[in-house]
A and B are shown apart, each in its own frame.
Chain A
Amino acid sequence: MILVPLIPFILVLGTGYYYFKTSIESTTIASMKRIVEDHRHMIESFLNERENDLKFILHSYTFDNLSQSETLDTVFDHLQEESQAFVDLGVFNQDGLHVAYRGPYSLKGKVYKDTDWFKEVMKHGYYISDIFLGYRQVPHFIIALAKEKEGEKWVVRTTIDTVKFNNIVKGVRIGKTGEAYILNVNGLLQTEPRSGGKLMEKHTDSVKYPSSNTGIETFIDQGLKGEAYLYTTTWLQNKKWLLVVRQEKSDAFSALTSTVYLVLLITVIGGAIIAVVAFYLTNHIVGRMEKMDVEKEQLNQQLIGASRLAELGEMSAGFAHEINNPLQIMKNEQSLMEMILSDLKESGQIKESESLTEFEDSMNQIQLQISRCAKITQAILKFGRQDEPRPQNIDLRNFIPEVIGMVAKKAIVHGISIEQNLDENTCPIHGDPTQLQQVFLNLFNNAMYAILERHGTSGGKLVVNTEPGENKTVGIVIKDNGSGISPENLNKIFSPFFTTKSVGKGTGLGLSVCYGIVDSMHGTLEVSSEVGVGTTFSIHLPAVE
C-alpha cells in the first residue's frame, strides 16, 4: 500500500536520469571530439609552418650558397627569430655528407647516407621523423626537405626542440585529469603525457588504434591502475602519429556522478516523505474507517432499540385494549357488590362492625386499583400511538406559552417561577399539536415533580428556551433546578415502564411516549442531568422553511 506511490516516483526519476545520462554523455563526447579536432589542427599547423620555413630556405638559396657557414648562420638566426623551436640547421649533399651545420653539436662532416631518414627524404623529398636519439644521443625529431637542381639533389634538415613541441601537445587541459599525447605507429610515446611516461617508451596504458584512417574515434578503456578512461583519438596528417586525448571517466562525467548522488538523495528523501505521508494518511483513513464502523454499530444498536420500542408499543396497545374489557367487568362487579352491601345494610341483615369496615376498605381498595389499572392502560395506549397524528405547522412562539399556561397555576401553587426565553426568529416546526403538547406537559410535570422533591414549595425555577439549532433545526431547552437524575438512571429514563416514583404514582411511560413522539417528528430528545443541580431536556425538531 505504502509502496504504490513510490512506483511512479521512481519511474520518473529513473527516466529522467536515463535521458540526462544520455545527454551528458553525448555532450561530453562531442566536446572531447571538438578539443581533439582543434588540437590536431594546432599541431599540424605548427609542423606545417616549420616545413614551410624550410621550403622557403630551400627555394631562396642555392646549395653552394647555403653551404657557406656565414649564410647558414644568418638563415638560422632568422629562423630562430621566427620560432624558438628550431634547435639546429644543416645542409647535406646527395651522398649524405653533412656539408654545413649550425647548432649546438659538432655534426659537420658526418655521413648520413645509410640512415633511414636520409633514404626517405631522398626518395620522397620530405620527411618528419619520429623521436630518436641519433648521433647526439638526445631525444629529438627532425624535419628534412630535399631539392633537385640540374640533376644534383641536396637536403636541408632542422631539428625541432622536443621540449617546445611537448609543451604544445601537452597544452590541452580538460577537467582535472584530461591530457593529450602523441604515439607513433609502434605505440611509442612521442610526447610526454602529464600523467607520466617517458619519451620513446611504450605508454603503460595501451591504446586501441583507430580502425579507419580518418575521423575521430571515441571509446572507454581501463587504465593499468583499473580506472576507466574516456579516450578520443585521431591520426595526424602524416598518418604516422596518433594524437590521443584522454580523461578519467569519472572526471569526464563528473556532472553525471553528482547527478547520480542527487537522484539518490532525492529518491531517499522523497521516498521517505512519501512513505511517511502514505503511512500517516493510511493510518488516518483506517482510523476514520474504524470510527465509522463503531458509529455504524452504535447506529445499528439504536435502530434495533428503536424498532424494539416500536414493537413493544404495538404489543402494549394490544394488551391494554384486551385488559380494558375485564377491567370493565371488575368495575361493574365491584359496583354490584357495593349495591348489594348497601341493600343488606338497609334491610338490617348486616350490622355495622369492625369486619364490615374492613370489608368496605377492601372494596374501596379494589375500586382504587381498578382505576390505577385503567390509568396504566390509557397511558400504554397513548404510548402505542393508536391515534393517527394530524401534523400541521406549529409556531412555537405562541404554542409554548399556551402549554405553559396549562401548568402555570400548578407552578404558582408550588412556588415555581417559569422563565420563557423564546427567540423572535424561531422557525415554525411541523407536527401534531396534541402530541407536542403531550411532550411539553410531560416534561413540565416531570420538572415540577423534581423541583418539589428538592426545594419544596419555594425556590423552584423552570426555564424554557428556544434557539435555532444546527442543520435547520429548532432547539427547545427545558431546564429545571430540581433534584436531578443519577447517572445510572439517566440512560434508562426513556425505557418504557421505568420510573423512580413510588408505586402507584407513575406508570413509567411518560418519557418513553415523549421520546416516541419526538422521534416520529424526525427530531431528537436528549437529556443531561446532575444530581442536586438540575436536569436539562433538549428537543431538536426540523424547522419548516
Chain B
Amino acid sequence: MERMRLLLVDDDQKFLSITKKSLAKQGHIVQTASKGSEVFEKLQAQNIHVVVLDVKMPGMSGGEILKEIKKSSPLTQVIILAGHGRVGNAAESLKFGAIDYLIKPVSITKLLQKAQEAFEKRKCLEQKIRDIQIRVLECQFN
C-alpha cells in the first residue's frame, strides 16, 4: 500500500518537528517547510499528497501559498490549520480549493484522520484520471 506523503507548513519549528515525529511514527512520510519558497521546492522535488498549511506565515501568507499550490499541482490536497477560526477566512480557503479548515489546537488523531481523508480523495482523483486516460486511449485505438 502506498504511504501518504505529507508536507507540514508552519513558521514554528517546534511545531514542525514534533508533528513530524508523531506522524512519522504512524508510518507516514513527512516533510516540513517554514516558508513559501521552501514549499514549492519540496512540491517540485517530490510527489506530495497532502499539505497541512498554517494561515499566518511570515512573507507569503497561507492564502497565497494555497493559491500557488492549487495552480502548480492541483491534485495536491491542502488542509488549512488556522491559529484562530474566522468564518470568512474559512469560506475563502475552501473556495480556493482547500479540502478542510482546522483550528488550533487540534489533536494528532484528528489531524491524521483529516489527512487520511484528503489522501483518499487524492487517490480517488488519481484513479479517476487514470480511468479517463484509459478510456481516451481506447477510443483512439478503436
A interface residue numbers (CB < 8 A to B) = 317, 320-322, 324-325, 327-333, 335-336, 339, 370, 373-374, 377-378, 381, 386-388, 434
Contacts and interface: CB of A to CB of B under 8 A. Distances in A.
B83 A332 contact: no
Nearest to B14: A329
Contacts of A327: 104-105
A336 B104 CA distance: 17
Interface string B79-104: 00101111110000000000000011
| Chain B, interface residues (CB within 8 Å), range | 20 to 34
Contact of A328 (B85, B105, B109): B105
Contact of B84 (A320, A335, A339, A388): A320
A330 B85 CA distance: 19
B46 to A, nearest CB: 23
29 contacts: A317-B84, A321-B84, A322-B83, A324-B83, A324-B84, A324-B105, A325-B12, A325-B83, A328-B15, A328-B81, A328-B105, A330-B105, A331-B107, A332-B19, A332-B22, A335-B22, A335-B107, A336-B18, A336-B22, A336-B25, A339-B25, A370-B105, A374-B104, A374-B105, A377-B84, A378-B85, A381-B85, A386-B86, A387-B87
A328 B106 contact: yes
Contacts of B22: 332, 335-336, 339
Contacts of A333: 18
Interface of B: 12, 14-15, 18-19, 21-22, 25, 56, 81, 83-88, 103-109
Contacts of B109: 335
Contacts of A335: 22, 107-109
B18 A332 contact: yes
A454 to B, nearest CB: 35
B84 A328 contact: no
Contacts of B81: 328
Given A322-B83, A374-B105, 7 more contacts: A325-B83, A329-B14, A339-B22, A374-B104, A378-B103, A386-B86, A388-B88
A56 B87 CA distance: 140
A328 B82 CA distance: 11
Nearest to B21: A336
A83 to B, nearest CB: 131
Nearest to A327: B105
Contacts of A386: 84, 86
B84 A332 contact: no
Nearest to A343: B25
A335 B14 CA distance: 14
Contact of B12 (A320, A321, A329): A329
A388 B105 CA distance: 23
Contacts of A387: 86-88
A328 B104 contact: yes
Contacts of A370: 105
A332 B15 contact: yes
Contacts of B104: 324-325, 327-328, 374
Nearest to A340: B25
Contacts of A320: 84
Q: Which of A328, A335, A381 has the most CB of B within 10 A?
A: A328
A329 B85 CA distance: 17
B105 to A, nearest CB: 4
A30 B9 CA distance: 119
A331 B12 contact: no
A99 B34 CA distance: 169
Nearest to B111: A332
A9 B105 CA distance: 83
Contacts of B85: 378, 381
A372 to B, nearest CB: 11
Contacts of B87: 387, 434
Per CB-CB distance, the 6 closest pairs between chain A and chain B, nearest first, are A335-B108, A327-B105, A328-B104, A324-B104, A328-B105, A331-B105
In this complex, which of B14, B104, B106 has the most chain A Cβ atoms within 10 angstroms of its Cβ? B104
Interface centre among A329, A373, A378, A386 (most CB of B within 10 A): A329
B89 to A, nearest CB: 9
Contacts of A330: 105
Contacts of B88: 387-388
A381 B107 contact: no
Nearest to B82: A324
A222 B51 CA distance: 126
A459 B81 CA distance: 46
A335 B86 CA distance: 26
A335 B25 CA distance: 11
Contacts of A329: 12, 14-15, 18
A381 B84 contact: yes
A331 B108 CA distance: 8
A317 B81 CA distance: 18
Contacts of B108: 331-332, 335-336
A431 to B, nearest CB: 16
Contacts of B106: 328, 331
A386 B14 CA distance: 27
Nearest to A381: B84
A387 B87 CA distance: 7
A325 B81 CA distance: 10
Counting chain B CB atoms within 10 Å of each CB, the highest count among A320, A324, A387 belongs to: A324
B116 to A, nearest CB: 15
B11 to A, nearest CB: 9
B16 to A, nearest CB: 10
Contacts of A377: 84
Contacts of A331: 105-108
